[in-house]
Structure 1
Amino acid sequence: MTDTALSAPLENNNRQQRLSVLLNVIATFIISISMGMCAIIFPVTLERIGLNTSTIGIIMSLETIASFILSLFLPALLRTLGMRAGMVLSTLLRVPMIILLGFTDDLSLWVLAVFVNGVGCFTFLVLLQTWVNSIPFRRHRGLMVALYSTSISVGLAVGPIVLRFADELLPTMQPYMSLVFSMLKITIAEGETVSRHFEFVLAALISLLAVVPILFGLLLVPSFKLSGKSRIFNTIMNAKGPMFAVAMGGVSIFGVTAFITLYGLKNNLSVEDASLLLTFFMLGGLALEAPITWISDFFDRRYVIVVSAFLCMVCAVYLPIAIYERYQAWALLFVWGGVIGAVYSTALALLGERFEGDELIEANAGYSMMDAAGGTAGILLIGFFMDVFGPDGLPYVIMFSSILYFSFALTRYRVE
């Protein structure tokens, strides 16, 4: 059986529900800041080491691969450790790995550390996702779940900003770092090397801070303890609508994030204007995801997902036309980011309504696995089709994935 003793008090205690959401969102925001920092310092450091772009891409993809593999073993992990211990132990996985990467140029250690860090980050996030989805909201579930998703986007956007101020923090922190290095008998060069080490240490410290809200609200974390065999694939097949929607969303969000700047450059935009395409895509997720998901609290969530998928397809269709007018392109990317973010949050809210207990854990694992599968497939296909068909390979792949899901939805959901 599943131990969910804490869910019953939460069901009738709005104050504890709000506190649970607040602590969850803070922890999610903090870990996402660290992830946003690592998304920059990892590839930049690998390039400094002298690796080519293909090798850097393979190493960075290990985080997505880690999330896919761990999804398969998440129920077994919770069966052994439980939610609370899983959150704490995931911190012990990722923090040392980030620090290690700041002090080595060894490729084999980079492969190992990036993979283990991916396991730690994904475990922490998926357990936070399971926690927020297990809270028995009587209303506005969509809005509450959207706060979790939005906090990820905000954190990822704040990460690069924190890095810009790292040099200003270095003079204050350098004496303490030198003391720690001397205690550990670590010899480092002066100047730029210290700055590079500091960026990794800062990212690790922020990652460590993410567990603090969890420790404050440890008693509020549901104590899921699973028994029996894992049925992730059965759960996916029993919720094809939201699961396939997440896979479609993975193609869009991973594909756009990875290639939209390059797409803009290949269509003769300046570096500044092309980078703003991604900025407006992320801003759309921040501004529109929560309101659209909140609207799903008052309608059938399945149809909100279908409409969002259709709008995603429309955005992909018009991208090759809008790209020549930068303001139109920025507006289109803004809307696109909002509707694809709403697919994620609305699908997650729908799973929270449909499943509970053991099945909710398996549903969240399936959700994450479909997201990783869609994202990996999207990146690989978009890269291939951009080589074959030019830059428009990006919207072609996303169009195709949206059409596939939209066609599937039309055969599943009756329109009256």
Structure 2
Amino acid sequence: MFQVLASSWALLLGVLLLMIGNGLQGTLLGIRGGIEGFSTLEISLVMSGYFLGFLGGSRLTPEMIRRVGHVRVFAALASFISAALILFPAFAHPLAWIVLRIVVGFCFSGVYVTAESWLNNSASNETRGQALSLYMIVQMLGLVAAQGILGFGDPSGFILFIVPSVLVSISFAPILLSVVPIPAFERTAPLSIKRLYKISPLGCVGTFLLGGVYSALLGMAAVYGVQAGLELKQISVFIAAMFVGGLFLQYPIGWLSDRMDRRHLIFGAAVVGALGAGLGLLLGGNFWALVAASAVIGGMTNPLYALVIAYTNDFMPPEDMAAASGGLIFLNGLGAVAGPPITGWMMSQTGPGGFFLFIGCLMTALAGYAVWRMTQRPSPQVDHTGVYTPVYPGASPVAVEVAQEVFAEGVVDAAELD
């Protein structure tokens, strides 16, 4: 781990600043939208715009990198992000915000692809798994830190929009000035969704549902906080608890996944996530109950995504695992785009509790589908499965593909050991 940190600290510092900027603007827009008088549906469409742009960026950025190279793509997209973040308070209209969010989502996707390509290139085969784990930890820490900054400003003013713009601009320096060589960018041809579903129906359904859960958490939690009457600092703590839960439970659940039937663990984690949503729905008047519900849901959602990917890999030959990342990312992206508008509609119909109701429905659906799949075919023996590799639902195609490669290497090593 220290070897990875020594060789990649500049990249990781840049990513940390990027995540602070991204996490701050996402929460801030949910609060500022309420101040500007946007309806719940309008805010939900604004939030959905980010995931629509992210999905488009994940598919188009590779071609942009092939045409002009990593450095130009990174600098151009990061500049657009910095500019867009300042324009939000200047054009406080739902349509303008939707367009800006699409631009921000597209650019962040491209920036992540570029940074993760550099990180992967700087790691050896032996340290790639550690590099990915450290990268995920840094991302979570950035999102948590962003919520702490939110409490020191006025969401009705301009300063909190300027701060993430400055952070994104500063993030250029450690990444572009590092001595990491520019990698040769190659992408694996993706498997078709149809073939991917035949290989692992639970993997496909799980990544789709978790995309909806994650986008609701990331995009609509601040909107819930405003409608529930939480103070600004309470909203910050409420949202930070999601990422803290995901950070601390990622590795215990990963440890369990390598030692038991992954479908049982998927079912159990989804049930716990649904119970967490139920806790928030029933005890929403108690702030600390909300914080506990947030930590439980976040603590289940992030590991579940990596767990579902690992389960999908259990039924794939090692040479196809990297190719599966494209299909999984696409399904996750579709779920993410649909998540905020459906959550917003449910909140407009049932009140703030619709936020937890939506998440509870998706977690319950995942648990039920996992049980049904248990009746359709046996699970691989634990000794013949690969090693769990952490990756969170908002990861770019590069991070997921790297996770697949690490998983495949573990499968090959285990087979050779046998």
With the length of structure 1 as denominator, give the TM-score of the two structures. 0.68
- Selected match of 2:149 from 162, 165, 185: 162
- Selected match of 2:216 from 235, 246, 255: 255
Supply the distance in 1 between the matched residues of 2:319 and 2:181 (Cα, whole angstroms).
16
More deviation, 79-88/121-130: 79-88
- Selected match of 2:76 from 89, 95, 101: 89
Superposed counterparts of 1:37-76, under 5 Å: 37-42=24-29, 54-76=41-63
Supply the distance in 1 between the matched residues of 2:25 and 2:229 (Cα, whole angstroms).
27
Q: How far 1:35 moved relative to its partner?
A: 1.3
SS at match of 1:152: helix
Supply the distance in 2 between the matched residues of 1:281 and 1:103 (Cα, whole angstroms).
30
Aligned residue number for residue 381 of structure 1: 342
Supply the distance in 2 between the matched residues of 1:31 and 1:355 (Cα, whole angstroms).
35
Residue identity opposite 1:414 in structure 2: P
Aligned residue number for residue 281 of structure 1: 242
SS at match of 1:211: helix
Q: How far 1:322 moved relative to its partner?
A: 4.7
More deviation, 52-61/332-341: 52-61
Residue identity opposite 1:154 in structure 2: L
Aligned residue number for residue 342 of structure 1: 303
Supply the distance in 1 between the matched residues of 2:71 and 2:183 (Cα, whole angstroms).
8
Note if 1:331 corresponds to 2:331. no
Residues 23, 217 of structure 1: 8 Å contact kept: yes
Q: How far 1:124 moved relative to its partner?
A: 1.5
SS at match of 1:115: helix
Supply the distance in 2 between the matched residues of 1:80 and 1:52 (Cα, whole angstroms).
41
Q: Give per-residue Cα distances to partners, 1:185-230, cap 9 Å, x unaligned.
A: xxxxxxx99x72x544432221022233333556356422348x66
Query: Unaligned regions of 5+ residues in structure 2, if any?
Result: 382-418
Residues 74, 365 of structure 1: 8 Å contact kept: no
Supply the distance in 2 between the matched residues of 1:27 and 1:352 (Cα, whole angstroms).
31
Superposed counterparts of 1:117-266, under 5 Å: 117-129=104-116, 138=126, 141=129, 145-162=132-149, 196=158, 199-217=160-178, 219=180, 222-226=183-187, 231=191, 233=193, 236-237=196-197, 240-259=201-220
Note if 1:25 corresponds to 2:48. no
Q: How far 1:48 moved relative to its partner?
A: 6.8
SS at match of 1:414: coil
Q: 1:48 to 1:210 in 2, by over 3 A?
A: same
- Percent identity of paired positions between Structure 1 and Structure 2: 19
Q: How far 1:288 moved relative to its partner?
A: 2.4
Supply the distance in 1 between the matched residues of 2:148 and 2:80 (Cα, whole angstroms).
25
Supply the distance in 2 between the matched residues of 1:247 and 1:286 (Cα, whole angstroms).
22
Aligned residue number for residue 389 of structure 2: none
Residue identity opposite 1:62 in structure 2: G
Supply the distance in 2 between the matched residues of 1:161 and 1:200 (Cα, whole angstroms).
15
Q: 1:240 to 1:94 in 2, by over 3 A?
A: farther
Supply the distance in 1 between the matched residues of 2:277 and 2:69 (Cα, whole angstroms).
42
With the length of structure 2 as denominator, give the TM-score of the two structures. 0.68
Q: How far 1:121 moved relative to its partner?
A: 1.2
Residues 245, 305 of structure 1: 8 Å contact kept: no
Aligned residue number for residue 378 of structure 2: 414
Note if 1:399 corresponds to 2:363. no
Residues 120, 128 of structure 2: 8 Å contact kept: no
Supply the distance in 2 between the matched residues of 1:298 and 1:221 (Cα, whole angstroms).
38
Residues 211, 336 of structure 2: 8 Å contact kept: yes
Query: Unaligned regions of 5+ residues in structure 1, if any?
Result: 1-13, 168-191
How many residues end up aligned between the 2 structures?
373
Supply the distance in 2 between the matched residues of 1:145 and 1:258 (Cα, whole angstroms).
25
Q: 1:304 to 1:47 in 2, by over 3 A?
A: closer
Supply the distance in 2 between the matched residues of 1:310 and 1:372 (Cα, whole angstroms).
23
Residues 48, 336 of structure 2: 8 Å contact kept: no
More deviation, 233-242/147-156: 233-242
Aligned residue number for residue 22 of structure 2: 35
Superposed counterparts of 1:285-296, under 5 Å: 285-293=246-254, 296=257
Supply the distance in 2 between the matched residues of 1:201 and 1:64 (Cα, whole angstroms).
22
Q: 1:306 to 1:136 in 2, by over 3 A?
A: farther
Supply the distance in 2 between the matched residues of 1:307 and 1:140 (Cα, whole angstroms).
29
Q: How far 1:34 moved relative to its partner?
A: 1.0
Residue identity opposite 2:52 in structure 1: I
Q: 1:202 to 1:331 in 2, by over 3 A?
A: closer
SS at match of 2:180: helix
* Structure (1 or 2) with the larger CA radius of gyration: 1
Supply the distance in 2 between the matched residues of 1:273 and 1:45 (Cα, whole angstroms).
14
Aligned residue number for residue 178 of structure 1: none
Supply the distance in 1 between the matched residues of 2:29 and 2:290 (Cα, whole angstroms).
29
Supply the distance in 2 between the matched residues of 1:51 and 1:265 (Cα, whole angstroms).
12
Residues 67, 369 of structure 1: 8 Å contact kept: no
Q: How far 1:235 moved relative to its partner?
A: 7.4
- Selected match of 1:310 from 271, 284, 287: 271
Residue identity opposite 2:370 in structure 1: A
Residue identity opposite 1:95 in structure 2: S
Q: 1:90 to 1:26 in 2, by over 3 A?
A: same
SS at match of 1:61: helix
